Amino acid sequence: QVQLVESGGGLVQAGGSLRLSCAASGRTVSNYAMGWFRQAPGKEREFVAAVRWYGSATYYTDSVKGRFTTSRDNAQNMVYLQINSLESEDTAVYYCAAGAGLVPQSPNDYNYWGQGTQVTVSS
């Protein structure tokens, strides 16, 4: 079992930055992907970014490329999402997730989910 806890959300002006953190506890596996998803009110959950526990592969949805960066600290079992140049469209609850699979953009490939952290962008 893996438990995930997100933190770092808040209220930020458009153009500002945030760094979200995801603390993982329990067993982690080298082929697991750590994903970030978000869900805005009245909208479906969407993929944001992902990184594997071991290896350099990262993945991003088109709308966040160049603005968001995901990274990991294996020794501390931490995953981060650096968010720059925030836009109003980024307002959502952000979730981290862990799982094994070949398609990191698919929520079906994730077995464990955090509780979410709210990001609100003012404009």
Backbone phi, psi, residue 76, to 5° = -100, 0
User: What pLDDT was estimated at residue 74?
Assistant: 84
In angstroms, the Cα distances linking 8 to 22, 32, 37, 88, 118 are 9, 23, 15, 17, 8
> Whole-angstrom Cα distance, residue 99 to residue 53?
10
- Read off the pLDDT of residues 47-102 as tens digits, 9 standing for 90 and up: 999 998 777 789 999 999 999 999 999 889 899 999 999 999 999 999 999 988 67
User: What pLDDT was estimated at residue 12?
Assistant: 98
- Read off the pLDDT of residues 16-49 as tens digits, 9 standing for 90 and up: 999 999 999 987 766 788 999 999 999 999 999 9
User: What pLDDT was estimated at residue 31?
Assistant: 72
User: What pLDDT was estimated at residue 56?
Assistant: 75
User: What pLDDT was estimated at residue 55?
Assistant: 73
User: What pLDDT was estimated at residue 16?
Assistant: 98
